[in-house]
Amino acid sequence: MATAKREHWGSTWGFIMAAAGSAIGLGNVWRFPYITGMNGGGAFVLVYLGCILLIGLPVMLAEFAMGRASQSDPIGAFKHFSPGSELISKCFSGVGLVLAALIAAFSHNFGLASIVALVSAAVWKWGFAVAGFFCSLVAMLILSYYAVIGGWILIYSWESFSGGLSFTGTAEAENLFVNIATNGWISTIGMLAYMLICGFVCFFGVKKGVELASKIMMPVLFVLILVLVVRSLTLPGANAGVQFFLAPDFNNLSVKGVLEALGHAFYSLSLGMGILITYGSYLPRDRNIFTSSLFVVLCDTLLAILAGLAIFPAVFAMGMSPEQGPSLLFKVLPCTFNSMPGSLGWLWNGMFFILMSLAALTSGISLLECGVSTLTQHTKLQRRPAVIILTVSISLVALLSAFGAASWKYLMPLKNVMERVLGSVKGSFLDELDYICSNWILPLDGLIIALFVGWVWGASKGAKELYTVRQGKDNYNDAKFLRKVFAQNISVTVWTYFVRFIAPLLVLLTFLFSAGIIKF
Ligand code: PFF
């Protein structure tokens, strides 16, 4: 049985580092600081913290609880708790079929209608296990484009030490980025290097691979960001950047900003993809999930704030303009670091891109591990062949993003298919894939997980999984222990309420907003 053979984390610290590694990624460094600056600074940070606590933490706990209780990958976890819910899944399937008919009748979008009908039919046949399959599939799909961006970051790390990033003008920065991003072959080399590292780590298993790598990479990442924060904050004129990033301005905070905070909380914690179900399934029974999750959330938020403090004071002090996404990372920051006094631009750039490489790699490792766990559990494959098969096949799919990062030149047939399903296609293949996964699929999966845990598995059963009495250590006659039990009871009640009502409602709202169905 897979359950008996399942490998476990060696320590709680290792588990926290691995889960934090998954959460801390590109979103913390290139998205959070910018949307904070644009949406009222400190006011946005306060709202973001609220979102993390209102939906991030409850859904994270739900995923960990599902994984630990079932000791399974996402498909196995959904299957494990499904008995008795056949009627509910058949109702879902019926609603899906009606929805497919409505889409076909009113929008004439037969591509989308067929997809919805197909998924509904699958739910009719396999029940909620389809949701688990969907989680693992999406994780692989996300990895296929995350690997291309991760590859660019590895190339930039190399360039910073070999003198390739020594420019101070944004025109040269633009040139270099265009040369890399529009050249499918260069992107492929970076992507393959990234996939090989992820595959190498997963090859060695949970304890000797993922856990060991995270325990080394994450502390290095924190040390690097702290050095950069100190350098950035001690520059003359740094204050303007701190003001832009953190000064609370409630006038600049709109409803749109609040929903953006909700969406980002979700993306940043790597929720809705079954990764945390997988990581939870490697947890032994005697670990307290609640405290570990709090640590993960804390690390993720702390790193996002430190990233802002490393970036904006330097950008403002050097007279550059803050931008979002790839421009900030690949164009503005190299010029900023090179303009800093002391001619050490190569060192600051090198440190920054190594830090980014570590952040991107630990997230990629978690995505690959989700697939490995699924493949080894539902086929006869052992871990090592499974890692090799997945690394090779995801790299092949990633070629689409490597060659379709800048234009559709090589992918016209795919564009036609996507236009049929999506109506219109605005960005490149990579942009579109990122948009669909982050704005549609992740919140949708998260909604399914929260509803499933809250209503199908049952929040009270889930809650039991969050705390564990440590055999021989906890004692019901001990006053300190009883106080702990009391505090746990309260937090369990709060969690139950959140996972059943508040989280699904807020996730639904975020989903409708980020998918463009409601607008503010
Ligand atoms: N949490 C990552 C970030 O903040 O960049 C993004 C991410 C990584 C999302 C891995 C999903 C994932 F599976």
DSSP string, 196-261: HHHHHHHHTHIIIIIIHHHHHHHHHHHHHHHHHHHHHHTSTTTHHHHHHHHS--GGG--HHHHHHH
Helix (H) or strand (E) holding 442: helix 442-451
Do residues 331 and 180 touch, judged by C-beta distance below 8 A?
Answer: no
Q: Is residue 103 part of a domain?
A: no
Q: Is residue 346 part of a domain?
A: yes
DSSP assignments along 333-349, one per residue = HHHHHHHSTTS-HHHHH
d(CA 235, CA 324): 22
- For atom 2 of ligand 1, which residue has the closest CA? 25
- Give distance in angstroms: CA of 304 to centre of ligand 1: 13
- For atom 8 of ligand 1, which residue has the closest CA? 363
DSSP assignments along 40-60, one per residue = TTHHHHHHHHHHIIIIIHHHH
**Who's near 358: CB < 8 A, 6+ residues apart?**
217, 218, 220, 221, 224
Count CB-CB contacts under 10 A for residue 69: 22
- DSSP category for residue 357: H
Q: Is residue 117 part of a domain?
A: no
Residue type (1 letter), 510: T
d(CA 139, CA 410): 25
- What pTM was estimated for this model as a whole? 0.91
d(CA 475, CA 213): 36
Summarize the confidence of residues 239-255 as an average pLDDT: 90
Q: Is residue 507 part of a domain?
A: yes
- Give distance in angstroms: CA of 84 to centre of ligand 1: 33
Give the mutation target among 267, 276, 296 for probing the ligand 1 site: most ligand atoms within 8 A of CB. 267
Q: Is the pLDDT of residue 422 over 80?
A: no
- Widest CA span of the chain, in angstroms? 71
pLDDT on residue 30: 81
**Who's near 444: CB < 8 A, 6+ residues apart?**
272, 511
- For atom 9 of ligand 1, which residue has the closest CA? 270
d(CA 225, CA 407): 34
| Residues with C-beta less than 6 Å from any ligand 1 atom | 22-23, 25-28, 139, 142, 267-268, 270, 273, 275, 363, 367
Summarize the confidence of residues 253-257 as an average pLDDT: 86
Q: Is the pLDDT of residue 51 over 80?
A: yes
pLDDT on residue 476: 61
Highest-confidence range of 54-63, 89-98, 287-296, 297-306, by mean pLDDT?
Answer: 297-306
Q: Is the pLDDT of residue 423 over 50?
A: yes
pLDDT on residue 468: 63
Do residues 63 and 359 touch, judged by C-beta distance below 8 A?
Answer: no
pLDDT on residue 445: 85
- Give distance in angstroms: CA of 353 to centre of ligand 1: 17
Do residues 194 and 147 touch, judged by C-beta distance below 8 A?
Answer: yes
What is the rounded average pLDDT for all residues in the chain?
A: 89
CATH number, residue 479: 1.10.4160
pLDDT tens digits, 459-517: 878 887 876 655 556 566 677 777 777 777 787 888 888 899 998 998 888 878 776 77
Q: Is the pLDDT of residue 171 over 60?
A: yes
Helix (H) or strand (E) holding 178: helix 170-181
pLDDT on residue 143: 96
Percent of all residues in the chain with a pLDDT value above 70, rounded to a whole number = 96
pLDDT tens digits, 424-465: 788 889 988 888 888 788 888 888 898 899 888 888 788 878
pLDDT on residue 13: 96
- For atom 12 of ligand 1, which residue has the closest CA? 270
pLDDT on residue 40: 86
Q: What would the two tokens of residue 84 be? A: 């008795």
| Range(s) of the domain holding residue 150 | 12-82+128-514
pLDDT on residue 1: 39
Residue type (1 letter), 490: I
- DSSP category for residue 470: -
Summarize the confidence of residues 259-263 as an average pLDDT: 83
Count CB-CB contacts under 10 A for residue 516: 9
Work out which ligand 1 atom sits closest to the CA atom of 367.
13
pLDDT on residue 474: 58
- DSSP category for residue 288: -
pLDDT tens digits, 57-113: 999 999 999 999 999 999 999 999 888 788 888 998 999 999 989 988 887 878 888
**Who's near 19: CB < 8 A, 6+ residues apart?**
276, 279, 292, 293, 296, 366
d(CA 27, CA 435): 13
- Give distance in angstroms: CA of 112 to centre of ligand 1: 26
Q: Is the pLDDT of residue 131 over 80?
A: yes
Residue type (1 letter), 12: T
d(CA 123, CA 300): 34
Q: Is residue 318 part of a domain?
A: yes
Q: Is residue 377 part of a domain?
A: yes
Please tell me the total count of domains within the chain: 1
Q: Is the pLDDT of residue 417 over 90?
A: no
pLDDT on residue 195: 98
- Give distance in angstroms: CA of 101 to centre of ligand 1: 34
- Give distance in angstroms: CA of 27 to centre of ligand 1: 7
Local confidence band at 4 (pLDDT 50, 70, 90 cut-offs): very low
Do residues 245 and 37 touch, judged by C-beta distance below 8 A?
Answer: yes
pLDDT tens digits, 317-352: 998 888 777 778 888 889 999 988 888 999 999 999
Is the pLDDT higher at 490 or at 404? 404
Q: Is residue 94 part of a domain?
A: no
Q: Is residue 113 part of a domain?
A: no
d(CA 311, CA 232): 7
